[in-house]
Amino acid sequence: GESVGLHLPTLSVQEGDNSIINCAYSNSASDYFIWYKQESGKGPQFIIDIRSNMDKRQGQRVTVLLNKTVKHLSLQIAATQPGDSAVYFCAENGNAGGTSYGKLTFGQGTILTVHP
């Protein structure tokens, strides 16, 4: 389910199910998007990225979809495992380009909980 305001959106799934995490971004000029996974007390870990000239990119068990028309990004995780439980953030670079690919604006994050 989702919640607004002070609480992060949450998604609870059973082990083996597919998970879809959504993100709306604000800057239509952004040309680079990244999904990160953050476990408690740790720094963000890169999952997958996509550039604005693409609408889909696949990795191992993960797929990112980009819809520039509605400024929407999603992360699909296939066969979700308990080890996938974490907070997931989307991030955009605001068309900073060049050496400033690192200047990111993060989404609010989604808590994914995978039940065995």
Partner 1 sequence: GAVVSQHPSRVICKSGTSVKIECRSLDFQATTMFWYRQFPKKSLMLMATSNEGSKATYEQGVEKDKFLINHASLTLSTLTVTSAHPEDSSFYICSAGLAGGPPIFGPGTRLTVL
- Interface residues with partner 1 (CB under 8 A) are 6-8, 34, 36, 41-46, 49, 89, 98-109
- Do 47 and 63 contact (CB within 8 A), yes or no? no
- The residue among 56 and 103 lying less far from partner 1, judged by its C-beta, is 103
Closest distance between partner 1 and the C-beta of residue 116, in Å?
24
Closest distance between partner 1 and the C-beta of residue 37, in Å?
11
Closest distance between partner 1 and the C-beta of residue 23, in Å?
11
Closest distance between partner 1 and the C-beta of residue 12, in Å?
17
Burial class (CB in 10 A: 0-12, 13-18, 19+), 105: middle
- The residue among 53 and 69 lying less far from partner 1, judged by its C-beta, is 53
- The residue among 83 and 98 lying less far from partner 1, judged by its C-beta, is 98
